[in-house]
A and B are shown apart, each in its own frame.
Chain A
Amino acid sequence: MFLHPWAVVLGIAAVGLPFAVHWLTTPRPTRMPLSTLRFVLEAVRQHRARHRLRDFIVLALRTAAVLLVAFAIARPKLGEEPLVSDSQTGSAIRVVVLDVSQSMAALHHGVEAIERARTIAAEHLRYRPGLRVNLILAGASARTAFEQPSQNFEALRDELSQASVRPERLDINRAIAKAAEMLATDSEDDRRRELVVISDFQRSNWARADFSPLPQQTQIQLEATGAEAAPANIALLRSQIQQRTAIGGATQFEIEIGNYSPLPQRITAEVAIGDATFRVEGMCPPNRRTTLAQEIQLQQTGWQVGTARLTGIEDALAADNERALVVEVTAKPTYALLTRQSAGQRPSSSYYLERALAPDSQLGERASVDIVRVDPANIDRERLTAADLLVIDHPGKFAAEDISLLAGLLRRGRPVLYVAGEAIDATNLRLLVEAAGGGLQMPVDFAPPPQDQSRRDLFLTSVQQDVAPFDVFGDSRQAITARLRFGGGLTSNRLENTLDDDLLATYSDGTACLVLTSSDAGALAVLNVDLSRSNLPTSEAFVPLLDQLVQRLLQRRAAVTGAMGGEPVVVRLPSGIGAASELQIVGPQPSESELISLGEIADEGIGTVWRWPSPDKPGVYRVERGDETVFALPVGLSAEESPLESLSPDVLKNRLAGTLAVHYRSATDPSGQRDVLWTWLLVACVVCIVGEFVTLTAFRS
């Protein structure tokens, strides 16, 4: 393929030039009678072969030089012809998809991928008669320059020049769907359809690409901006503090490091949260994710914001070396224990629960948890509302209004642990499920055990060992649970179209032992056992098992761990923070809060909800009432953007594109440098000319 094909024709015609030069430069012989012609004949005969060789070499070199010059002028191109290029003519609709996800900020040889992408995109936004183009900036959402392809190339180039990397992951299928809408054809439209995708083709978000929505005749040109070998990148993928951290209490701080480099790295992260600062260090093996943890104590209550930052790191993508942090430090948690059993009844099921939930209750004020007993027959609504966890054991039959109260608290995020040891508990649970509505889909239906069936000496047969609470036992789980014997409780029937994961453990008779089900913002755990008829309370497994279960319930209550840039945010704000009209949203830079969209807060049936279509900037966004922060939301980068490894071109062309015509071109691949051969042709031409002089000199000597 040539940029100037006419030069090839000219060159072929010019091959006659050396012959013409040879003929023109051949001296006209002077006629001269010679007496010694015989000796001349002998000398010529001796030199004839040598001179023929010289003439052949010289003529060949001259011819080659002319051809090389002609081919150099023709500008031959290496590799396959792109499916979309300026050399094509005719009417066409072209959609240029420009990847503006966070990974496009990665540096390669000191240049960001987005700059390379911008240059490539500009080539596809040049005017050509009959060409209509649109530009899609692809991130978590697809933003188009125009509603339809346009011939306003100047505006498109302006849009391109203003495009910048966004702190988002790439949802390529959204961009493809948007492009498919623009490229959709009808029977009378025979214009050529062209799709140009300019991206780093990250494996993490291109592996799910689906080109099937595109019209079948679409010509797809994939322009890669990334390096063939993934540049080294170290990323802070996650930073997390256990939610609802109690003041003065030890809590676990975790960061997850992604080492996407070929060498192990020693990582140091500096963390600042509220007034506290600390440092986390550790070794991270190559090409793996590593979690580093440290126990910390926070001394201030309320919403604390901060950042975790990797130090001493020089990698391709700097944006993922920092991540925002939010934690709500609360006062000592309070658990409400709803039971008919009196505190002095020992041993009893409620006694076992109280001791297990607050092992250090004998410390009095210094105990880590306050347990409040509530009589189900005389429920104090305020105490229930103030409690962080509701524990129900031997409650008897709840009144209808109490069921409604419990269901409301459950939906608004209050976790409930129900220890079902009596037949009446089946009725309570059924009423609770009905009151919670469709948001509570338990995997089993509990029922009172038949009169003739004695539930005793039951043991665990099926346990989800990798999740809380059973993961706390580790490798000893089998030995510990094998010694447990259970009695009492309810029978259960498995319900269809419910989640298997909600059923955490089952008994040897097939009935449920432990169920944990979400209900809107809250969660309901049902421990189907009569503790007084089991050896569980006296085993070493009881306290850790119950502690893990409670922690899991409390974590679910405060499950808002953060949002991703560009992704829609819908957050149910904690109950009791006030009406939506009293709340305002403040961004990381308070001065910019009025200039950018931070979403809207509205009062809805299930509580106060914050809806935000697209967070634009990483950082901590706070909901304030007056000067008080009542909620904070960290917005960070998607971990998908950190591994910079590109998807293989073969996968893109053969597997993902299906039957569509696809051409892949890399901006950094030497084989993709299509217009460099002419320089080598000129060098070869010079070599031919030098060779001619050398030949002539050699044969002359």
Chain B
Amino acid sequence: MSTQTRSRFLDLRALAALAHMRFTTRHRIEGAYSGRHQSRQQGGAGEFVDFREYSGGEDLRRLDWKVFARTGKAFVRLHQDETNLLCTLAIDASGSMSFEGSRGESSSKLHYIQYLATALTHIITQAQDQVGVAVLDDGVREFIPPGGTLTHVALLQELIEHLTTRPTTTMAGSLRSLFERSSRRGVLMLMSDFLMDDLEEVFAVLRLFRHRGWEVVVLHTVHPDEERLPDGAAYRFEGMENEGHLSCSPSDIRAAYQSRFKSHLAMVRQFALAGGCDYRLVSTAVSYLQTLQGFLVDRTG
């Protein structure tokens, strides 16, 4: 593969260190092709796993005739099928994702997510898996189903590169729409700051994904300035989702603010874990490569 890329968020030199690592799932999944991931199917082409007593109606091709001949009992050979991964990266493109704190545009959450998502598309497709992207705001603004070709990946990375945000305060509708448009089970990786009004509805939809058999990974993205407000005598804070503005001294309210923000983080984590989702807090203060490495290591087990 050429190191030349059109996306400015794809740094192959940096990702070379992660080339040996693969994104794995913790649940059996369904894939379009044979791959290295455990499939939900237990057919006869995969690795032998066990015997099971035959029951009526089963495919006779899986009957172990040799055992039947020796014992007179009918047993079925069980094999674990392996398939490829279908991963959908759902990126929150609401206004709050543009928050860049007091450090400038290059430190915004969206910017961070663009790096992370681009790297994930690269790593996933390198493992012969398929990856798709859904851009969410108040609806599904863009949706490219999972694919594994180079052209497909380039298309995804271009889409990620040109992501912009829109001021919106809801995301449950767009997730539901994505759910309806997704026909095959796979992995849904939701990258969001979860600063929205319909938080409970969002996790309700995520639970739908889980019920259908999706593996849901929640990447909760936060900015350091969101955690403890910026230093400075006075700020005029302006809402990024049409919330108006407010002038105050951060030092006066820092303690109360931090208390509320921690409550918010705890609530999102609680919702995620309660819904059977894999929760990971991602701070933009940490390099995306470090975050990605930790994530992949954790996944690899």
User: Interface of A with B (CB < 8 Å)?
Assistant: 26-44, 46-47, 51
Contact = CB atoms under 8 A, between A and B. Distances in A.
Contacts of B29: none
Given A44-B246, A44-B248, A36 B235 contact: no
Contact of A34 (B238, B253, B256): B238
A29 B246 CA distance: 10
Nearest to A32: B235
Contacts of A47: 252-253, 256
A29 B236 contact: yes
Given A32-B230, A35-B195, A43 B237 contact: no
B249 A27 contact: yes
B99 interface: yes
Contact of A30 (B98, B223, B232, B256): B232
Given A27-B233, A43-B256, A34 B248 contact: no
Contacts of B226: 35-36
A27 B234 contact: yes
A43 B257 contact: yes
26 contacts: A30-B232, A30-B234, A31-B238, A32-B236, A32-B237, A32-B238, A33-B99, A33-B238, A33-B239, A34-B99, A35-B96, A35-B109, A35-B223, A35-B240, A36-B226, A36-B261, A37-B237, A37-B238, A37-B243, A37-B245, A39-B260, A40-B229, A40-B253, A42-B260, A46-B256, A47-B252
B264 interface: yes
Contacts of A32: 102, 230, 235-238
A626 B244 CA distance: 121
A37 to B, nearest CB: 4
A47 B257 CA distance: 11
Nearest to A26: B234
Tell me whether chain B's interface is mostly helix, strand or loop, or mixed: mixed
A40 B236 CA distance: 11
Kindly name the residue among B233, B237, B238, B264 whose own CB sees the greatest number of chain A CB atoms within 10 A: B237
A41 B237 CA distance: 10
Contacts of B248: 29, 40, 44
Interface of B: 95-99, 102, 109, 193, 195, 223, 226, 229-230, 232-241, 243-249, 252-253, 256-257, 260-261, 264
Contacts of B96: 35-36
A36 B228 CA distance: 11
A40 B237 CA distance: 9
A35 to B, nearest CB: 4
B236 A30 contact: yes
Contacts of A36: 96, 99, 195, 226, 257, 261
Given A27-B234, A32-B230, A33-B99, A51 B246 contact: no
A40 B193 contact: no
Nearest to B223: A35
B246 A40 contact: yes
A33 B240 contact: yes
Kindly name the residue among A31, A35, A38, A46 whose own CB sees the greatest number of chain B CB atoms within 10 A: A35
A141 to B, nearest CB: 80
Given A32-B235, A35-B226, 6 more contacts: A27-B233, A34-B235, A37-B237, A37-B238, A43-B260, A47-B253
Contacts of B238: 31-34, 37
Nearest to A39: B260
B282 to A, nearest CB: 15
Kindly name the residue among A26, A33, A38 whose own CB sees the greatest number of chain B CB atoms within 10 A: A33
B256 A42 contact: yes
A698 B222 CA distance: 33
Nearest to B250: A40
A38 B246 CA distance: 10
A42 B257 CA distance: 8
B293 to A, nearest CB: 27
A28 B234 contact: yes
Contacts of A29: 234-236, 247-248
Contacts of A31: 235-236, 238
B111 to A, nearest CB: 14
A671 B158 CA distance: 91
Contacts of A35: 95-99, 109, 193, 195, 223, 226, 240-241
Kindly name the residue among A30, A36, A47, A51 whose own CB sees the greatest number of chain B CB atoms within 10 A: A36
A32 B229 CA distance: 11
Given A32-B235, A33-B99, A34-B99, A39 B240 contact: no
Nearest to A36: B226
A43 B223 contact: no
Nearest to B237: A34
Kindly name the residue among A30, A33, A34, A47 whose own CB sees the greatest number of chain B CB atoms within 10 A: A34
B284 to A, nearest CB: 12
Contacts of A41: 246
Contacts of B257: 36, 39-40, 43
A46 B253 CA distance: 9
A50 to B, nearest CB: 9
A288 B98 CA distance: 101
Nearest to B244: A37
Contacts of B264: 39
Nearest to B109: A35
Nearest to A699: B252
What are the nearest 3 A-B pairs in CB distance?
Answer: A35-B96, A27-B233, A43-B256
A630 B225 CA distance: 117
A44 B226 CA distance: 16
Contact of A33 (B98, B195, B252, B253): B98
Contacts of B253: 40, 43-44, 46-47
